[in-house]
A and B are shown apart, each in its own frame.
Chain A
Amino acid sequence: MSRVITREVVQGLYKRTGTARVDADVAASFKVGDGIRARNVHPTGHTRLPRYIRGKQGRIATDHGVFQFADSLAHGGGKQPQHLYSVCFTAQELWGSQAPARDSLYIDLWDDYLEAV
């Protein structure tokens, strides 16, 4: 629904109103500590799964809870609420054996991006 934007609307907006969190009872496919692989997919539409993560194996570090799904909302779809996880990948998994052994990268990935290993 569209609405007219007045100064009062703006003042209200810039409170913390825009959470992407969804209050829905959705089962999580993974739990903290699980090993996962990011799906090797190449959607032609919007996705928040970067190329450098696809096909790589990582570990669930945190379950953030249930969030709306950007890939769906960008194309007029529904919220498709699902769990969003912080997933940890080693730098060597992402960038090869010459990457520093201690380093890692964390990225937030929705359930639909992941498969069990």
Chain B
Amino acid sequence: MNGIHDMGGMHGLGPIEREADEPVFHHEWEGKALALARVALAGGHFNLDEFRHVMERIPPVQYLSISYYERWLEGTVALLAEKGVISADEFSARLTELSGDPS
């Protein structure tokens, strides 16, 4: 697809920002998000090409505004729903439960 992910040759995306002594993960959840995606891949629930494609399908504005591991997380959640492993309703119910927010 002619998506936002296909970036070669684009202009205007800013300077390359480097970080000295960059940690492998910037937040604990990042390592976990990566691990859960790998678990779903290794578990045979989807393949790597499907996983790349689901991230390409994230709407362009969102693709550019969320972080790398958020794309991994949202891609994993979306594909597991598409594959019937964890439904969207089940996921949002669990979110509500964990946040302690009854609304």
Chains A and B in contact, CB within 8 Å = yes
Q: What residues make up the interface of A, taking CB atoms closer than 8 Å to B?
A: 1-5, 9-10, 13, 18, 42-47, 50-52, 70-71, 73-75, 94-95
Contact with A along B12-52 (1 / 0, CB 8 A): 00000000000000000000000000010011110111101
Prevailing SS type, chain B contact patch: loop
Q: List 11 A-B contacts (CB under 8 A).
A: A1-B44, A3-B44, A43-B1, A46-B52, A51-B2, A51-B6, A71-B49, A73-B47, A73-B49, A74-B47, A74-B53
Nearest opposing residue in chain A for B53, CB measure: A46
Instruction: Given A51-B8, A95-B9, verify A45-B53 contact (CB < 8 Å).
Output: yes
- Known pairs A1-B44, A5-B43, A46-B53. 12 more at Cβ < 8 A? A2-B44, A5-B39, A13-B42, A45-B53, A50-B8, A51-B8, A51-B9, A70-B52, A74-B49, A74-B50, A74-B52, A94-B9
Set of chain B residues within 8 Å of A5, measured between Cβ atoms: 39, 42-43
Determine the distance from Cα of A42 to Cα of B2 in the docked complex, in whole angstroms: 7
Asked if B56 CB lies within 8 Å of chain A CBs, one says yes
- With the chains together, A4 CA to B2 CA distance in Å? 36
Question: Across the interface, which residues of B come within 8 angstroms of A43, CB to CB?
Answer: 1
* Chain B residues with CB under 8 A of A50: 6, 8
Which residues of B are interface residues toward A (Cβ below 8 A)?
Answer: 1-2, 6, 8-9, 39, 42-45, 47-50, 52-53, 56, 85
- Please give me the residue from chain B that is nearest to A10 by CB atom: B42
Task: Label chain A's interface by main secondary structure.
Answer: loop
- Closest-CB distance, B23 to chain A (whole angstroms): 21
User: Tally of A-B residue pairs with Cβ under 8 A?
Assistant: 51
**Chain A residues whose C-beta falls within 8 Å of the C-beta of B2 in the assembled complex:** 42, 51
Q: Taking CB as reference atom, which chain A residue is nearest B9?
A: A52
Smallest CB gap from B35: residue in A: A10
Q: How far is the CB of A11 from chain B (nearest CB, A)?
A: 11
Which residues on the B side are within 8 Å of A3 (C-beta)? Answer: 42-44
